[in-house]
Amino acid sequence: MDFIENIRAKLLNTLPGIDAQMKMAPPTRTSDMQAPAYARQGGVLVLLIEGDKNWNTILIRRTEDGQTHGGQISFPGGKKDLSDADIIATALRECEEEIGINKNEIDVLGTLTPLYISPSNFLVTPTLAYIKNVQAFKPSEKEVQEIIKVPLSMLFDPLIKQLRNVRSTNSKNDNMSVPVYLLGEDIVIWGATAMMISEMEHIISL
């Protein structure tokens, strides 16, 4: 548990923030981009799980529903509801709804730096959390096409950081070369999720 407590302590200090996020940002992203006052609030859960002598995190592939981020790989999460006490509650609720993990069994460690996602006009706050045991996942049939369990040692391997052409969510730029985490030919992490992982990587030491 020293690993978890070390992360908890680090999250109480000044976060790496935009400097770390920009290392995996698309070329269209600027470091001074600010969320407008009318931006919607969203939360995602970066869940750490110990298993097979490795620390892992969970990503999902969203269903192809015609929405802005349909089919993309991300952390579990979504829009803040009026019933949510705060943005951490949003992340916990969405995680339970999307992958079936009981939110009461999750130990919240802290939050990472909020990140504005302009195509969907969301200001997203990542919550970093830990769970001791996961018996089984129950993906939402409506929202989740696939659950992807990734060892941190693989996610933080410099060799998987590559440049790839992706289809942009910006209609003015159909394809562009962006930095990605390439976990497989069909598992390409880029954009906001890659930027969140980059900050997480700066905080976590394996």
- CB neighbours of 47 closer than 8 A, spacing ≥ 6? 57, 58, 75, 76, 95, 101, 106, 129, 130, 131
Residue 10 has pLDDT above 60, yes or no: yes
Amino acid 132: pLDDT: 87
- Tell me if the pTM is above 0.85: yes
- CB neighbours of 39 closer than 8 A, spacing ≥ 6? 116, 121, 122, 123
Residue 206 has pLDDT above 60, yes or no: no
Residue 64 has pLDDT above 80, yes or no: no
Q: Which of 37, 121, 126 is nearest to 75 (CA)?
A: 126
Question: What is the CATH topology of the domain spanning 2-151+191-203?
Answer: Nucleoside Triphosphate Pyrophosphohydrolase (3.90.79)
CB neighbours (10 Å) of residue 146? Answer: 13
Please state the rounded mean pLDDT for residues 62-91. Answer: 86
Amino acid 66: pLDDT: 52
Considering only 43-52, 107-116, 172-181, which range has the smallest mean pLDDT?
A: 172-181
Q: How far apart are CA 59 and CA 109, in angstroms?
A: 18
Three-class DSSP category at 93: helix
Percent of the chain exceeding pLDDT 90 equals 78
